[in-house]
Each structure stands twice: as structure tokens, then as C-alpha cells.
Structure 1
Amino acid sequence: MRPPSRPPIPPILRIANGTFYRHHPSSASSQPNPPFFNDLNFEIPTRTTESPRHWCIVGPSLSGKTTFLQALRGQHISVPPGARSWPYLSTDQVPDRLRTPSRAIRYVGFDGEQVGGLSGPATSAYLAARYESLREDTDFSLRDFLLGNTVLNPLQSPAQVEHELPPGLLDRVVSDLRLGPLLDLPVAFLSNGQGRRARIARALLRTPEVLLLDEPFMGLDPPTVASLSGLLRSMAERAAPRLVLTARPQDPIPEWITHLIYLRSDCQVGSMGEKDVVMEGLRKYVTGVWKGTLAEDETLPVRALAEMGKALTTEGVVGEALGEGGSGQGHTAEEVTEAPDLPGRQAEGEPLVEMDGVQVRYGDKIALGNWTEETPWGPKTGLVWTVRRGERWGCFGPNGSGKTTLVSLLCSDHPQTYSLPIRLFGRSRLPEPGSGQRLPLTYWDIQRRIGHSSPEVHQHMPTYLSVRQVLENAWADTFKGVPKLDDDARAKVEATLRWFAPELNPNHLHQEKVAGNDSTESLRWADDHLFGRLSFSAQRVALFLRAVIKNPDVVVLDEAFGGMDEKVRDKCMLFLVRGEAKTYDAAGKVVDSEVAEKAEVRVGGLSPDQALVCISHLKEEMPDCVREWICLPEANEGLPARFGRFDGPLRTDERRWRELWKM
């Protein structure tokens, strides 16, 4: 007699013909409430099988990648209500603490809210606080952050009781994510890449059943991406925890991913299934549209698919994008910049930033400048670097090499700018001998002449500001200050909001077009929508515009294009160089805009009097006008920074990229 078979273990998550809404469809609301992911069928199994499923959700900006992850955790309204369930969480095999989806299914995102969460319960009012030597009570160490010890007054406000960690888990997670040397540092000192690994580690220490990673590779250097991908692969193969990732179309997909979901621009599933099957279907679609045998679906734009298809392997990024070898695959570098150098650029502009042997120390730790450089005046310890008017710099280096510290010095956010040999706009931060009555530059003087977008700015930008207020904040002294606006500034804000309404207005696709050009009516959305409620991509667009809108002497873009898809990124890059004067036609070619033809351009692009400093780990996110470059060495390597000049745009030439990274 055969023993009775064991009943199958139910899946962790089951969605059967579910449709989702932000608000209940029968509720009265002034905001559009379209359905998304209509009739969705999706499961996350409890255990690995002979044919495991490792999912990655891909889609352009505003396609709903984060919304999809939120739906998996129980957010948003499911219709019918029973279409979404978590059967396994109701069994006696699950610890009590994991019986709710929000605990069993952990989300790790990298938007402004998540960045703020890394620094503890309070965020400082200004960026310089990150680098102060005097620590505040809220400056918890990385060890405290990982263990959840981030409550100031536990007697008055008890901390959420965390479960006892399994033996060896903390050591293993810290070792796997290479966080050991950082455990006693304040989390505010962590670089972008280190902070990302810290958030993943904290989620893993909660031993969830499922870990949702929202664009985990964004903003990381190539070696770190390869290392993190290998770590995630081992987790996926052990199903400890089960992983669901998201990615943009231009991001290489880890080779261990087995299944894909491609989202359309209207928050609906365009294709779902095995990776190879989905990729082949999308390839046929792109080829058919370019050959004219298929009509392009406006919710499935070919340009968003052009860079998709490359794989992330242990050997690096390999494979061919869907757009390679075809036509109409997006904007070329020449189309974006229209010339190798901007018209009227000075051969030798006035120095705006001068660093003459800069070395940043925190006690015995050297964060930047741990080397000696040869100069025409002899050896010099620390970084020697000059940024002049008209120059377009790219700043590179591995995570932890000091790029964020360098930007903080350039923007005068770092307190050590007072004591280091740094001159900004021809003047020191301290009184100079023989300067007569001329006072040194103040922090506010410098901020008025620099436009800055970075993950740190994203962290500090108040989420309660409206979209309009974020752009107007370019004329304020602080993030929460009152902007000093004149008629020209107001006109620039209005023009920029109209230009980027499709990217900034969450309801752009669902609202009726407002007749005429009445600013009060057509731009009311900019006052109604708050920065904190925008998608991550829209937040990045708003911060980019805040950095460039007032045409400052120096524009600093630190990972400013991260989170944008190819179409939005290219629009921002064209706006950076040409302002409102140029736009793209239906064929993707750069043409004169309507406002240029009417001689009504309010916001221009970079001028020969401005300097640009751009930081990114992706060549596709480096503006084509960048020519000068600096590459910082690995931390404490002892080698000096390398300098050079590109002979053309970086993002269209793999050879330049490999030479830069010595690959």
C-alpha cells in the first residue's frame, strides 16, 4: 500500500485574474484612477523546483515597476479582493512575525525616501552635516542600522522588537556584502554604493520569505555590479530569500534571471514568461516596426526597447541590444550635441574651481587624496585639479573612491573646504593676505553660483514641496528657504514645467488637454502634485531641472540621470545642452522647437561661460558634450588620479569606455 502523498505546499503569493487600483473604483475622487495590471496572473512559489523561476520586471519610466512590487506586498486595491492571496503565510510553517505580507515580503528601493531612511530618524537641514567631525545623536553606526538600534528614546517610543538573529547570520551577510570595515562608521559617511549594500543587508537580516529589489544595480560601478549580481544569484538559487528584481530597458539583465515581465507605458503587462521567449517576441516586434511590417503600439514604444537585451555575466556585460544592427534605434551623439564642442567655447576659460593638493582625512582615514602627483612645480601631495569656464568634465572611479567627497568640496558642503587649498570662483573660503576689504566667499555665495543634483540632494529635498516649488527652490538659499524670484525666474519655471509636463505630471496621459496656453489652468498640476508623491524617475527629472534652470556658473550632476529610461534621459540631456531651442521629431531627429521658431525661448542650454561636472558609472548616462575626464583610484590604493580628454562622445563608443576603466 502506497503511503499517502504529501499535499503540495501553497505558494507564498498568488494573483489570479486580479486587476489593481490606487483607489477603490467605486469611490469618488477628483484624481484619475485607471486600472493597472488588468487580469494579472502571477505566483511566487514557496520552494525551488526543478525549473526555478527568478523574475525581473522591466519597463520604461512611469510603466509601474515600483507599483508592481507594491502590489505584491499588499498595497493598492485588488479587484476582486480574493484575486490576491498569500496562502503559505497562513500555514503553521511560518513564524508568527512573518504572517503579514509587509513583513514576509521586504522591499528595498533606492529613491529619496529610502535614502533618507538610511540616515536614521532625523535628516540634517544641510548637506555639510554629513561631513561634520562632531557627531549628532542621530548619527547611528552601520552596525546599529543593521540591527535596528536607531531609536533615540526607546522608553518613550519603544522600538519595534526585532527577532533574534540566527547564529552566524550577521557575520555571513556582512561578509557577503563586504561591509565589515564599515560597521563602526556613521551611516552618513557611506557612499552611494555602500549605502545600497547596507539597505540590502538590513533587509536580509529580517530573514524575509521574499526580497523585492527595485533597480538594485543603478548607480553602482561595473566591479560592484558584477559582485552584487553574484551574491544575488546565490540567494536566488538557495531561495533564501526568493528574489524579484526590477530594471530599466537599458540595464543589462543578470544571466541567472529566468523569467521576465515587460511593462507597457500605461501600467499594463506587455509580455510575461520565460526570458528567452519574451526577448524573442520583443525582438521580432522591434524588427517588424523598423521594417514597416508592424504598426508601433504607442504604449510599447520601440525607442524604449532599443537598448534592451544585454546580459550581465561574471565576465561583464555581453550580448547585443535589440536596437543594434537596425535603424531608428535612438539618438546618436552627434544629434544630441550637434557638434563635438559647444559653439563659442573658450580655449582657456577662467578658473572656477582650483584644488592645489587636496587631501581629506577623518582621523587616520584618508577619504580622498592618498597619493602624490607630479606637477610642473614639483611633487604635490593630494588632488590637483582645476575646472574652468566652458569645460565639460566627467568624473569617474569605483564606489568608495571619493567622488561624493569631491563633489562636496566642489559645492563647499564639506567643512574641510575652509582649511584645504581650494579656491572657488577665484577666491578662498578664508580671508586672504593683501585682499584689502574683500570678504571671503560665504557658503550662500557659493550655493547661488552652483546647480547641484545628486542622491544627497534627493535625500534632503522636502517631500511636501509641490513640483513647482522644487524648481523654484533653485533660487532659495536652503532646501526649506523662501526663493527670491523675479519675472525672469518665474518665466523660466513656467516654461520648464510646460516643456517637461509629460515627465512630471503623473496624470498627463489621463487628463484632457487644456485649451489655449493659460498658465494658471494648464500648469495647475504643478501646484497640486507633491514631490514625494512623484515616481522616482519624475523626482530625478525635477531635481535635474532644479540644478540647471537658473544657468549657474557650475552645474554638478552626480548620478542625475539614474532611474530615467532612455527617452526621458535623452530629453534631459538635450535640454541640458540646448534648452528649449531643440526638440525631437517623430523620427527621433533633433529639430528646432516651436518656441525657438517663435523666438520665445526662455531657458537656454549650457553656455560657454558655464562649467559642467558629471558623475556616473554608466556611459549611457554621460552627456555627449563631456570631453575632459578625471578618474579617481580605488580607496587607499596609493595611485594618483588619472586625467584625460575624450576625442568624442563617451556613450556611443565602447572603446573609450574600456580605455577609461582600463578594461
Structure 2
Amino acid sequence: MTQSMSTSPDSVINITEIFTATISKNSQYFSITFNNCFSFSFQFPDLLIMTGTSSMKNCLVAIKNAKFKKDTLLKTPFVYPDPITEIEIYPPSVRAKQSTWAVTGSSKTTMLKILAGEFISYPPLSRTYPLINDSPTQLQFLNFRDASGLDKVHMSARYETYSYKGKLEMSDDVNSVYNYVTGLNNYNTKNKNINTEFVDSLLKYFKLSHLQHKWINSLSNGQLRRARIAKSLMTKPKLLLIDDPFLGLDPINTKSVSDALQTVSQELDISMILGLRVQDDIPEWIQSLCYVDENGVRLAGDKQTVSTEYENLTTSTETSHKAHESRHNKHTKLVPIPTDYFQKEGLHIEFHNASVAYKKLVIFDNFNWRIPQGSKWRILGDNGTGKTTLLSIITADHPQSWKSVISVYGQLRKTGSGVTFFDINNRIGISSPELHALVPQHTKTMKEIIYNGLVKNVGNSNFLFKGDPKNISEIGQKYLNYFQDRLDMYGDTVFNELSMTDQKLTLFLRAIIKEPKLLILDEAFSCMDDENVMIRCHELIEHELQNTTVISIGHLEWELAKYDYMIKLINDNDKRDYRTFKVE
């Protein structure tokens, strides 16, 4: 390419004296190479990927003296005020110690987005991808905020469509777990040649083999996360970034997924970057650490080399966490109690000889559970034991909840009883992963979503209606006052731009502002980066919701508000059972 550019009548600069460029194009990509030194490779509409022939040519990602913006507007601030001086990520086969990373700190998600190319770098070539230049699928980023290939449905829709899906779609396994992982549930996919041996290995690694013929939307939250990770590995990416990979997984499956990620990293030569909270255990196979706060990267390097500095940076967080954790562990002695431990008088909810089944799959059989008004419960169980199903019966999202399996305040819930779905949900506040996925990410602010909880007769999953803040009661305002500092800072921020801590806080406040008789907290505080905000939520529940019945689900003890009783669901080789306990 040869061009001349006139700058004045007296001077002409011949660009060929500065650089030469060649443009090439194949069926998928354009490439522009300057002086055989660096090049741009891009595919529309995918991410612009820059590559360079420098000393870092074997590097997957290289960042040097870079700042980043969300857009090109001059008024837009940089995402970090401080530049990122240097980070290099390599394939395991090149530099093993720089191929597996844990990114922690209050701004870890932003850092993962930078590595995934979601922000604009300044200067333009301060972030390069030397080895990721032939397919955008070579870099995969899982942040679990979108449904990515899933039907975006609430719990009720899952159950209402079981028979429909069974007749029309599951007959040929279109929406099975297997087809979701392989991409065969996409009618437009061009990839029909599947390496079945490789797929079987992935299903085995992530404990999905026995689930491969199930409808994908029928999986529990933990099972669905494992399926999404397996799906992201189908393209054998060179770099996989996962934010909060172990959220929603019980301890057994946490270790299983961690081991699987280590195995595929080594066997497929895939670099792994995990976004973890400071409080989370860092897997032993992770060899490099990156700590990030609101100002930028505070440290990055080999785990052994930076461990002392990392401990110094995280001391206050760890100290606070250990104190919070010890307070929880102090009151966790469990004493078994019979199902008739509570008298019928004063009961809020009762299951009496309840049975729930899908065709031949029994979820509950002769299930009995008495929940007094104002009691605080934890539901414990491994992934797939029926926790979400149990909640969906209570909230009337499950169609079998109308078949005389549950009583509320002594009134048996059944068709024709005069109680509607909306009557039930007017008295229930809920925060759950299903609701989180339904929030309008880009159009509703923190305050708008909270005030939406004031709207009656629309159900808990409807975010379309605006609540009037004038209708907030004195008690509801008292709840908001606990977090006035957060509301002042982020109240007018759209949901997608909130931190995970404030997204979780938003859904929690939406659930309690209506002064519910029953509060359901399904993984409500999981993934919160700011543990102090979580503690304030727990304190509000303990001091202000003494007469409210609270049911919590969570795999980490310290993420749960204080509870007095626990029901443990058991699935032993498809044999369902349960136990109830009192906490002393």
C-alpha cells in the first residue's frame, strides 16, 4: 500500500518511507500487516484482535503500560486510574507458571473483561493477543450473568413446559444436556461432526454423563454451571476465563470441577484464569496471582514470589472474614428433631405426606415438614437433590403445588381454594439465581429494581412495572436506611454496571421492601465480594425480621444469615430422603 499525504504546500510526507502495509483476506478474516512488525486481524462482528511479532510472540495475552475505556468518548473515564504496567499469559506448554491464574480483589470482574478484550486499550497496541489470531473461539469468557444458549425462563416456566418439551422437543433430544454442550441444540450450527470421544470425556470430567439426556433447563443451578463450563471447552480454546467458577457448587462438586479444570488445562494445553473472591480458597494448581482493586492491578506474578505481598494486601479482608466465619461456626451443633417436633398451632407452612414426581422420577415421597411462623431455616443438599423444586412448591411456581401437598396458615393449597398465585407471591419476598437472570440488565437502575418490589399482583419475577417510592412504609424505609450509603452512590446506576455485591444487595432489598411474611434467600449472598455488605444484610435479618419466616439456601456456611433449624435433602443413588435438625 502506497500513499502520500500533503501537510503544507512546502512539505510532502511519503508514508512509504515510514511503513509499508499489506492487506490479506481469507474466507473469514481480514489481516493488515505493517512493516512485517505487527498486524491487525479481525472478523466482523467479533472482537478486533491485535497480534505482534515481538519477543512475546508465544504469548496469549500481553498487557504493557495500558489504560482502558468502555468507549472512545473523551469524557469517559478510564476503568482504572492507574495503568496496568505488565501482565503476560502463556500456554501451559510454553510457560506453565504463567498459564494458570487467579484474579482476586474488588475489581476482579473488570480485570477479566480487560483480558477478554471487552474494553478499548490506550495506547491501541498496549494489549495484544499474539497467539489468538485465527478464531474468536480461541478465547472464551464465562461470567454466568447471561443464559448463553439457554431458554431464559423463570422456575414456573420450567415446570409448566415439562410435558410440552417432552412431547415436542425431548423426543429427539434437541434440548438435552448433550446437545447443549455440543451445540447441536442450535439448528443453525454448521458443526455437525462431533468428536464423541472428546465429548464423553468432558461429560465425565464435569460429572454430566448421567444427565446428558435431561432437558438442559431442568438442571439445578450447580449442574447448569458445570454444563456451561463443558460447553465452553468444546472449541478447545487456548484461553478460558471464568468468573466465580465454583459459585452454587457444593463442596464435593467444587473439588470435582477444580480437578477437571486442571486436567483439561494440562491435557488440552489451555490457559485458565479464574476470578475468585479473596475469601475463596485458591486451587493448588493455580500458579500465578493477580490482585485488583478500584485503582488497578496491585500485584501480578508467580504465586510463590508474590505470596507475602498478597497476604499483606488481603490481611484486613481475611481477618474480617475469619471473624465472621467463626461467629457462624460457633452455633452449628446440629441436633436431630422429628418431623412432628412443632405443634400444628402457629405453623406458617406445612408439608404433610407430600409426594412430587415427574413420570418415574420421584423427587419427594411422603415428605413432611413443619415451618412455624418466624422460624429461620436452612435447606441443605447436594446439587440435584430437589432444593429448587421444594422452593418452587412453596412459591406456587410448581404446578404440583396446587395438588394438596402444602398448607399455608392451616389452609390446604389446592385448585379452587380461592387463593391465587399472585395472592401467594404478594406475601413472599425472594432473591435467587433465577430472578437474577431475569433482571433487565441495561434498562433498570438499582433504585428502580428495588421499588419494583412494591408492586402487587404481578408476581416476583415481573420487573416491568415501576414501583412508587411514595408507597414505601416506615418499616420499608428503615430497611433501606441500613444501606443508604450504597443507595446514594449507586442508586441511579443501571443494573449491569453494578458490582456483584450491589446486584445481590439490590435483589435482597427488593425482596424485603414489601415486608413479606416469608423471605426466601436462594444463594442470595453468594458471590458478594464485599463481605461487610453481606454482614449488614445478615444483621438486618437478625434484628429487623424476627417475625418473618426465612428459608435460606447456600453451600457456604458463612454466606448464610443466622438460622435456627435445618432440613437436609438426601439423594443416595436416586433414593430420596431427608432429615431435620435444630441448631444449638
TMscore range, shorter length: 0.7 to 0.9
Q: Which letter does structure 1 place at the counterpart of 2:85?
A: L
Aligned to 2:465: 482
Pick one of 448, 452, 461 that aligns with 1:473.
452
Q: Are 2:74 and 1:27 equivalent residues in the alignment?
A: yes
Equivalent residue of 2:164, what SS?
A: coil
* Separation (CA, whole Å) in 1 of partners of 2:446 and 2:360: 43
Match in the other structure for 2:204:
175
Instruction: Give the structure 1 partner of residue 5 of structure 2.
Output: none
| 1:134-283 superposed matches below 5 A | 134-135=163-164, 140-151=175-186, 159=188, 161-162=190-191, 164-166=193-195, 168-264=197-293, 266-283=294-311
In structure 2, relative to structure 1, the CA distance for the partners of 1:241 and 1:55 (3 Å cut) is closer
Secondary structure at the residue paired with 1:168? helix
Give the whole-Å Cα distance in 2 for the aligned partners of 1:19 and 1:45. 21
Contact 2:56-2:62 at 8 Å conserved across structures: no
Q: Which TM-score applies when normalising by structure 2?
A: 0.79
- Encode CA deviations 1:394-425: one digit per residue, 9 max, x unaligned: 11011111111111111111111111421123
Residue 70 of structure 1: aligned partner: 113
Q: Select which of 585, 598, 607 maps to 2:546.
A: 607
The CA distance in 1 between the partners of 2:448 and 2:274, in whole Å, is 33
Contact 1:57-1:263 within 8 A present in 2 as well:
no
Q: CA deviation at 1:197?
A: 0.6
* Corresponding residue for residue 555 of structure 1: 519
- Following superposition, the deviation at residue 361 of structure 1 comes to 1.1
Tell me the distance in 1 between the aligned counterparts of 2:180 and 2:231.
Answer: 7
Range that drifts further, 634-643 or 10-19? 634-643
Residue 392 of structure 2: SS of its match in structure 1?
helix
Deviation at 1:449, TM superposition (A): 0.8
C-alpha separation between the residues in 1 aligned to 2:358 and 2:528? Answer: 35
Distance 1:391 1:199, change over 3 A: same
- Amino acid of the residue matched to residue 327 of structure 2? A
Q: Distance in 2 between matches of 1:34 and 1:431?
A: 54
1:441 aligns with 2:419: yes
Looking at structure 2, the residues matched to 462 and 404 of structure 1 have their Cα atoms a distance apart, in angstroms, of 23
The amino acid across from 2:565 in the alignment is: E
Indicate the SS of the match to 2:570.
Answer: coil
Provide the aligned length of Structure 1 versus Structure 2. 506
Q: Does 1:409 align with 2:393?
A: yes
Classify 1:246/1:484 alpha carbon distance in 2 versus 1 (closer, same or farther; 3 Å): closer
1-structure distance, mates of 2:290, 2:225:
24
Find out whether 1:533 has 2:497 as its counterpart.
Answer: yes
After TM superposition, give the deviation of residue 143 of structure 1 in Å: 2.5
User: Which residue of 1 is the match for residue 429 of structure 2?
Assistant: 451
Structure 2: how far apart are the matches of 1:205 and 1:50? 24
- Provide the rounded CA distance (Å) in 2 between the counterparts of 1:547 and 1:246: 28
Residue deviations 1:455-475, cap 9 Å, x none? 111122333322222112222
How far did 1:646 drift? 1.2
Match of 1:52 in 2: 97
Question: d(CA) in 2 for partners of 1:301 and 1:242?
Answer: 25
Distance 2:410 2:506 in 1: 31
Structure 2 residue matching 1:398: 3-state secondary structure: coil
Q: String of CA shifts for 1:456-496, please: whole Å, max 9, x gaps.
A: 11122333322222112222323145366574516666665
Question: Which residue does the alignment assign to 1:333?
Answer: 327
CA distance in 1, matches of 2:328, 2:235: 49
Contact 2:289/2:303, CA 8 A, preserved across alignment: yes
The code of the aligned residue for 2:496 comes to: G
* Equivalence map 1:279-294=2 (5 Å): 279-283=307-311, 285=312
Quick check: 1:561–1:569 contact (8 Å CA) kept in 2? yes
Work out whether 1:81 is the aligned partner of 2:124: yes
Shift in Å, 1:181:
2.3
State the secondary structure of the residue aligned to 1:89.
coil
**Following the alignment from structure 2 to structure 1, what is the Cα–Cα distance between the partners of residues 414 and 405?**
10
What RMSD in Å do the two structures reach over aligned CA positions?
A: 3.0
Aligned to 2:32: none
- Displacement of 1:36 after TM fit? 4.9
AA aligned opposite 1:127: M
1:11 corresponds in structure 2 to: 59
Q: What is the distance in 2 between the residues matched to 1:220 and 1:564?
A: 15
2:542 counterpart letter in structure 1: V
Contact between 1:468 and 1:493, CA under 8 Å: does it hold in 2? no
Cα distance in 2 for partners of 1:356, 1:118 equals 39
The range that moved more, 190-199 or 68-77, is 68-77
Q: Give CA deviations for 1:172-206 in whole Å, capped at 9, x if unaligned.
A: 11122121222222211000111001100110112
Runs (5+) with no aligned partner, structure 2: 1-54, 332-341
Q: What residue identity is the alignment partner of 1:107?
A: F
Partner Cα distance (2:470, 2:329) in 1: 33
Tell me how far apart the structure 1 counterparts of residues 92 and 266 of structure 2 sit (CA, whole Å).
Answer: 10
Q: Secondary structure at the match of 2:453?
A: helix
Q: Secondary structure at the match of 1:632?
A: strand
Q: Distance in 2 between matches of 1:217 and 1:612?
A: 25
Q: Distance in 2 between matches of 1:492 and 1:150?
A: 48
Distance 1:49 1:449, change over 3 A: same
- CA distance in structure 2 between the partners assigned to 1:47 and 1:56 by the alignment: 11
Indicate if the aligned counterparts of 1:58 and 1:261 stay in contact, CA closer than 8 A.
Answer: yes
| Contact persistence 1:556–1:612 (CA under 8 A) | yes
Paired with 2:238 and 2:95, the residues of 1 have a C-alpha distance of: 19
Q: Is the 8 A contact 1:504 1:538 kept in 2?
A: no
Identity %: 28
User: Aligned pair 1:643/2:564, yes or no?
Assistant: no
Separation of aligned partners in 1, 2:411 and 2:242? 45
Aligned residue type for 2:177: L
Distance 1:642 1:426, change over 3 A: same
1:394 aligns with 2:331: no
Q: Deviations over 1:245-284 (max 9, x none)?
A: 11111111111111111122x141222222233332243x
Q: How big is the shift at 1:148?
A: 2.3
Structure 1 residue 51 displacement after superposition? 4.8
Decide which moves more: 174-183 or 133-142: 133-142
Distance 2:553 2:478 in 1: 27
Q: Does structure 1 conserve the Cα–Cα contact (< 8 Å) formed by 2:476 and 2:515?
A: no
Aligned counterparts of 2:128 and 2:117: Cα–Cα separation in 1: 9
Structure 1, unaligned runs of 5 or more: 1-6, 91-95, 286-299, 309-322, 324-328, 338-346, 370-380, 433-438, 509-524, 579-604, 648-663
SS of the equivalent of 1:52 reads helix
Distance in 2 of aligned mates of 1:56 and 1:307: 25
Instruction: Output aligned runs, 1:347-426, within 5 Å.
Output: 350-366=346-362, 368-369=363-364, 381-426=365-410
Q: Secondary structure at the match of 2:558?
A: helix
Q: Residue by residue, what CA displacement relative to the aligned partner does 1:491-527 show, whole Å, maximum 9, x if unpaired?
A: 666665564355467xx4xxxxxxxxxxxxxxxx53x
Kept after mapping to 2: 8 A contact 1:221/1:398: yes
1:575 aligns with 2:540: yes
The separation in 1 between residues aligned to 2:469 and 2:285, in whole angstroms, is 55
SS at match of 2:117: coil
Report if aligned partners of 1:395, 1:403 keep a CA contact under 8 Å in 2.
yes
